[in-house]
Amino acid sequence: MVSVTDDVSTPTTIRSNWAGNLEYRAARLLRPTTLEEVREAVTAGGPVRAVGSRHCFNDIADTTGTHLSLESFEPVDASTLTVDTDADGATTVTVSGGARYGDLATALYAHGYAMPNLASLPHISVAGAIATATHGSGVTNQGLGGAVVALEIVTATGEVLTVRRGDGAAETSGDAGSGAAAGSAGAAELDADVDSAPLPFDAAVVHLGALGIVTRVTLAVEPTFDVRQDVFVDLPWESFERDADAVLGAAYSVSVFTTWRDNAMDQVWLKSRVDEIGTRPGGALALGEDFHGARRSPVPLHPLPGISAESCTEQLGVAGPAHERLAHFKMDFTPSNGDELQSEYIVPREHAVAAVAAVRALREQIVPLLQVTEIRTMAADGFWLSPSGAQDSVGIHFTWLQRQPEVEALLPVIEAALAPFDARPHWGKLFTTDAARLAELYPRLPELRALAARLDPEGVLRNDYLDRVLG
């Protein structure tokens, strides 16, 4: 039976998002434990919205109706996890959409496997993360959706669909590069296309929760590998400006943190795969004392100045399992309800230096509201609504103080400064980019809207966020 919690007895920690800047308006929270219970919940009458681990900073997960959490749906456990080899020889696991990456990675390690990459926080849910194009870093690493091989989706009408990598690629171009033509198709033509076509995989991975409830996700995994994490401080701005590619590509995953000080960027975190450190161009710099003019930190550091590093994953170049190094923060360290807000803008990597310079020119407005900025990279993928769709990208992220009105007043200024680079906002963080501009940035957005209308004709999954973003 579906467990029901009414709004009176639900703890406030579940009623709000992780950062506490948003009180969800959901009238009830259901925690289905079977596929049938998910189907019952979506067909019982809307509105309905899936909620993951509640780490988004905007109202993407909000609803006035039913919140559906998959936290009790097939919890991840090393004793029940099965690693499969599919027909193409790929090694995969299938987990609940509600699984948290940290639990999955720990269970996988027990089987001798690893996820290829992780976001900074391991506590986020798989379905919630891929729905918003959540990413880690690495010039050769796609966002977390890049590991998805198949999705099981319960649509708003209760239909259960399985979408596999490659599905829909013949009917649609499958890459965002040809999206302009599709995006300019007339509405009637578009409707005819989506009525007859199967659900394209490249539409279904980054879907903003608009296509259905993702109950199971099949992910490609690889044999476990070791990573060492080396942190350097005070990277001269000139080093970044001279050769950003060398800085950002020096390890499997690189993060540059800056508080926009005049003389230097604050920290560079190099997460190096031990099995490739000798062959990656510039990779050996992780072993030395100097990294493009930055000094090796002799002590572990938190990205935020003056904060203890006890919540951070192992540093000082000590090699160990990938899942204990690729995230910035430890899984067994319960993050406090974050006293922060976040925004992030993603631009083609070729514009990294110019885009960072455009933001740096605003530093007098940014710094009073900022905790820290993080610069990371993502390899191109083919997902219609992925900010790194069809383009190798760099993300310029802002961890803000919790002063939301002031932050929201500043975001249009940053967005205007980044407009020449066609900056795409992170779907799960704060942004003010409107539907018209998003449609320019994502030529296939009209097709996604048409697919959502086909799969959810009554608008059961719609919320204010989707109305604003999809138009």
| Chain residues in the site for ligand FAD (CB under 6 A) | 18, 49-56, 60-61, 70, 97, 119-121, 124-125, 127-129, 131-132, 134-135, 208-209, 213-214, 338, 342, 426, 428
Residue type, 436: A
Bridge pairing between strands 424-425 and 341-348: antiparallel
CA–CA separation, 15 vs 329, rounded Å? Answer: 24
Structure-token pair, residue 284: 């050996």
Nearer to ligand FAD, 214 or 235 (CB): 214
Q: Identify the CA nearest to 469 among candidates 398, 387, 402, 410.
A: 387
Nearer to ligand FAD, 52 or 382 (CB): 52
Neighbour tally for 405: CB within 10 Å: 7
**For the chain, how far is it from start to end, CA to CA, in angstroms?**
36
The least CB distance from residue 242 to ligand FAD, in Å, is: 27
CA–CA separation, 346 vs 426, rounded Å? Answer: 7
The least CB distance from residue 50 to ligand FAD, in Å, is: 3
CA–CA separation, 55 vs 16, rounded Å? Answer: 10
The DSSP result for 86-130, as a single string, is -TTS-EEEEEETT-BHHHHHHHHHHTTEE-S---S-TTSBHHHHH
Nearer to ligand FAD, 54 or 165 (CB): 54
Nearer to ligand FAD, 109 or 329 (CB): 329
- Tell how many helices (H) and how many strands (E) occur in the chain: 15, 21
CA–CA separation, 38 vs 52, rounded Å? Answer: 14
Nearer to ligand FAD, 214 or 366 (CB): 214
Q: Identify the CA nearest to 13 among candidates 97, 71, 85.
A: 71
Nearer to ligand FAD, 14 or 287 (CB): 14
Q: Give the CA count within 13 Å in the CB-facing half-sphere of 292.
A: 29
The least CB distance from residue 208 to ligand FAD, in Å, is: 6
The least CB distance from residue 274 to ligand FAD, in Å, is: 22
Nearer to ligand FAD, 121 or 358 (CB): 121
Nearer to ligand FAD, 126 or 194 (CB): 126
Nearer to ligand FAD, 99 or 264 (CB): 99
Nearer to ligand FAD, 256 or 264 (CB): 256
Determine whether 122 is exposed, middle or buried from the number of CB atoms within 10 Å of its CB (0-12, 13-18, 19+). buried
Nearer to ligand FAD, 51 or 235 (CB): 51
Contact present, 60 and 53 (Cβ < 8 Å): no
The DSSP result for 382-448, as a single string, is --TT-TTBTS-EEEEEEEE-S-HHHHHHHHHHHHHHHGGGT-EE-TTS-----HHHHHHH-TTHHHH
The least CB distance from residue 44 to ligand FAD, in Å, is: 17
CA–CA separation, 401 vs 114, rounded Å? Answer: 34
**Residue whose entry in the numeric block shows the structure tokens 């992170």:** 426
SS3 state at 469: helix
